[in-house]
Amino acid sequence: MAYLAEEVHASSLGSAMGSYIAGTTVGGLVGRVVPSLVVDVSNWRVALFVCSLTTLAGTVVFAVLVPRSQFFTPKSANVHATIANVAAHVRNPVLIKLFALGFALMGGFVTVYNYLGYRLAAPSFGLASSVVGLLFVLYLAGTWTSVVAGRLADRRGRSLVLGVALPITVIGLLLTVPHALAAIVVGVGVFTGGFFAAHTVASGWVGAVAHRDRAEASALYLFSYYLGGSVAGAFGGVVYSVGGWPATIWFVGALLFAGSLLVALLVRGNQRPAVAVAAA
């Protein structure tokens, strides 16, 4: 994220970030479908080994093909400077909202994908693990929406795209309520598309807001993002074990509602400079 913010012109940052996030959707797809297929014919250790080999191959390809940085300025790194940079970002109200948004988005996303598999494997549906793993093919919806959202953010503004992506995510979540496999599949696809569109815009916004020390800003966003997946995702399992899928819907819905409030605050804050200029 920091690399793209430094190397790509601001007018194209959304598109570049969309392509990057699209790549992560393919990685997420491969990292779930491949192990789910391997575990049906072997065991989880072999599945993890195959997944690790895939990751290693991707790392080598990246190291060979990534263009060398043209605008990066090296600087000495030490604990004191890092703490000061992090503290400066934490005092930025826009970045704080984006960090919190990342937490809410990933918490809801991980909860849905982690525990929907248990619902589909339960006797009421009785799907095999390999079939449940194919659900992650719906990541491809995020591959498309990431690219589209990035381009739209460059042309129409981040606020507009975020304001549309969150309601779409909520609609997708609600479509998974019925006890019908077709509705669930469609709902997860819509949910995934909305999530990755929002994540793309939020990621690009962090790089645009942080005019310096972008590595620390990106790290804080990703820390919050994966903290949401870890904490809210784990708590979502408790919710699912107690109240099943209906309770999980309420839990994820609460996270998305919080995310929608954050988006509203971001949009309002983003409009203030324009209003001030117009008044002047």
pLDDT at residue 274, rounded to an integer = 41
pLDDT-wise least confident of 61-70, 92-101, 107-116, 250-259: 61-70
Say if CB 141 and CB 263 are below 8 A apart: no
Q: Distance between CA atoms of 55 and 217, rounded to whole angstroms?
A: 25
Question: DSSP of the chain, one letter per residue?
Answer: -HHHHHHS-GGGHHHHHHHHHHHHHHHHHHHHHHHHHHHHHS-HHHHHHHHHHHHHHHHHHHHHHSPPPSS-------HHHHHHHHHHHHT-HHHHHHHHHHHHHHHHHHHHHHHHHHHHHSTTT---HHHHHGGGGGHHHHHHHHHHHHHHHHHH-HHHHHHHHHHHHHHHHHHTSSS-HHHHHHHHHHHHHHHHHHHHHHHHHHHHH--S-HHHHHHHHHHHHHHIIIIIHHHHHHHHHHHHHHHHHHHHHHHHHHHHHHHHHHHHHHHHHHHHHHH-
Residue boundaries of the structural domains of the chain: 13-70+85-279
209 closest CA partner among 266, 276, 141, 150: 266
Q: Distance between CA atoms of 29 and 192, rounded to whole angstroms?
A: 12
User: Quick one: average pLDDT of 238-256?
Assistant: 95
User: Quick one: average pLDDT of 232-237?
Assistant: 94
User: Quick one: average pLDDT of 217-245?
Assistant: 93
Q: Which residue has the higher pLDDT, 216 or 105?
A: 105
pLDDT at residue 148, rounded to an integer = 86
pLDDT-wise least confident of 8-12, 110-114, 187-191, 199-203: 8-12
Q: Which residue has the higher pLDDT, 28 or 99?
A: 99
Residues 127-169: pLDDT tens digits? 887 788 778 888 888 888 888 888 888 888 888 888 899 999 9
**Tokens coding 255:** 């996270």
- pTM of model > 0.85: no
pLDDT at residue 39, rounded to an integer = 81
Q: Which residue has the higher pLDDT, 40 or 113?
A: 113
User: Quick one: average pLDDT of 103-123?
Assistant: 92
pLDDT at residue 74, rounded to an integer = 73
Say if CB 115 and CB 240 are below 8 A apart: yes
Q: Does pLDDT of 246 surpass 60?
A: yes
User: Quick one: average pLDDT of 230-258?
Assistant: 95
Q: Does pLDDT of 245 surpass 90?
A: yes
Q: Where residue 243 falls among pLDDT bands split at 50, 70, 90?
A: very high
pLDDT at residue 279, rounded to an integer = 39
The proportion of the chain whose per-residue pLDDT surpasses 90, expressed as a percent, equals 39
**Tokens coding 176:** 């998974």
Q: Which CATH architecture has domain 13-70+85-279?
A: Up-down Bundle (1.20)
Q: Does pLDDT of 86 surpass 90?
A: no
The proportion of the chain whose per-residue pLDDT surpasses 70, expressed as a percent, equals 96
Integer-rounded Cα Rg, in Å, for the chain is 20
